[in-house]
Structure formats: structure tokens, C-alpha cells
Amino acid sequence: MTRVGAIWLVLGLLYAVFFGWYTSFGGPLTDEEIADYLRAFEEADPEAPAEARAALRRFMEEDTGDDFVMINVIDMYDTPLQIEGVAPGESSDAVLGKYMEYMYPALFSRACHPVLFGDAANTAMDLMNADGMRSWTRAAGMRYRSRRDLLEIATNPAFSGSHEFKVAAMRKTIAFPIDPWFQLGDPRLVLALLFGVVGLGLSWWMTARRGTP
């Protein structure tokens, strides 16, 4: 194999590994999986309202098998609730960081990551039938590889222990999924273009070098 061919082979293999990790191939949730997840949530929170259970079931039954984004709007406490594990003087951001100690590894290992994040620049500038929803601290959009990945994270016993820190740090929050969704900067496209440029550049350089007297 020529050096140019080896370069394209290596780039192709690296891209295939990334694409396989970043893309969901599991398809929509099966009836058996839905039943198992519902049972796990019921065991974790037997007092959950019927409306919340119905929304969770619908979320699973309408699974597309593709990735989606969870939109999160967050209002942080000025001073976090003083629960066990929260030291006096700790900020709400520091307490939320304890919650994310579990979440970050669980998210990134499943190719789940933020696609937007930022602090509020003002109070809500347009409200309709949303009393008490004017003040917010920040917003984020979290990309999940699949609904199955989200459910695997949420039903992990390690999640329940750290969830109290989220409650202690956030005064209120709204989270809802969007699917289908679209972004111009899909990493699979960006990486394919980058590898293409690198491959062409190295191929040109090696070809020119061989032709140099």
C-alpha cells in the first residue's frame, strides 16, 4: 500500500470509529424496554404524579431511535438549600457541580454533550400564560445520542444519590425534548470535512515531495 493510501485508510478508520460511537443504531425502544424503564422509575419514585408517568410513557412510545436535544431553562438559588453534603458558604453553582460529577462522565461516554449554553442576558421579554416564569439564570441545550441513552443515565442508581444536589441548587427549571432537530455544525459532518482537508493536504504534499528533484 502506498503512503497516500495508508493516510486515507487511517483517516477512514478513525472516522468510522467516531461515527459508530456518536450515532445511535439501536432503533426505537421496544415494548420490553419501555416496561423495564417504567418499572425502574416507579421503584425509584412511587409517589410520582400520574401526569408525569403518562408523559414519560409517551416520550418512550414515540421514540424515533435518533438523537434529540433536551432544552433546559434554569433559575438558580442565590444561596443553595442547606441539605446534607452542602457546606455553609457554597454557591449554587458549586452544589450543581456535585450533581454533574456523575452526569458528565455518563453523558460524554454516550456521546451526549451541550449544543448551546449561556447565561440569561435579561429577564423573559415575552411571556404568555406563564406566571412566575420571568426570571431565569441560564439556558442550555443537551444533545442525547438516543432516548435509550437518557433513560440509561436516569435509571442508574448513582443518579438518585446526586439528584438532591440539583434540587438544592435550582429554584426552578423547565426541560423539554425536541425531535427532530437540526444544526449546521453536526460533528459528523465537521469531522468528515476536516479529515477530507487533511487527507487531501497530505496527499498533495507527499505527491509533490516525490516529484521534487
Which cell numbers hold the place of 138? 441560564
In this prediction, residue 121 has a pLDDT band, given cuts at 50, 70 and 90, of: very high
Cβ neighbours, 10 Å, residue 140: 16
β-bridge partners, 141: 71, 116
Q: Is residue 6 part of a domain?
A: no
| pLDDT tens digits, one per residue of 148-196 | 999 999 998 877 768 889 999 999 999 999 999 998 889 999 999 999 9
Q: Rounded mean pLDDT of 41-45?
A: 91
Q: How would you classify residue 116: left for phi > 0, otherwise alpha for psi between -120 and 50, otherwise beta?
A: beta
CA pair distance 30, 17, nearest whole angstrom: 26
What pLDDT, on the 0 to 100 scale, is given for residue 207?
83
Structural domain total, the chain: 1
Q: Rounded mean pLDDT of 70-97?
A: 94
Q: Is residue 42 part of a domain?
A: no
Cβ neighbours, 10 Å, residue 182: 7
What pLDDT, on the 0 to 100 scale, is given for residue 32?
97
Which residues fall within 8 angstroms of residue 177, CB to CB, at 6 or more apart?
59, 68, 69, 70, 71, 147
Per-residue pLDDT for 213 more than 60? no
Amino acid at 30: T
CA pair distance 206, 32, nearest whole angstrom: 55
Domain extent for 118: 67-179
Per-residue pLDDT for 212 more than 60? no
What pLDDT, on the 0 to 100 scale, is given for residue 206?
86
Q: Rounded mean pLDDT of 23-52?
A: 95
β-bridge partners, 144: 68
Between 111 and 2, residue with greater pLDDT:
111
Count of residues making up the chain: 213
What pLDDT, on the 0 to 100 scale, is given for residue 4?
86
What pLDDT, on the 0 to 100 scale, is given for residue 211?
64
CATH number at residue 90: 3.30.70.100
Average pLDDT, the chain: 93
Q: Is residue 157 part of a domain?
A: yes
What pLDDT, on the 0 to 100 scale, is given for residue 200?
93
171 and 75 Cβ atoms separated by less than 8 Å: yes
Q: Is residue 151 part of a domain?
A: yes
Q: Is residue 88 part of a domain?
A: yes
Q: Is residue 213 part of a domain?
A: no
Q: Rounded mean pLDDT of 93-114?
A: 93
CA pair distance 144, 70, nearest whole angstrom: 8
% of the chain beyond a pLDDT of 90: 81
33 and 59 Cβ atoms separated by less than 8 Å: no
Q: Is residue 112 part of a domain?
A: yes
Q: Is residue 116 part of a domain?
A: yes
103 and 94 Cβ atoms separated by less than 8 Å: no
Between 5 and 65, residue with greater pLDDT:
65
CA pair distance 73, 175, nearest whole angstrom: 6
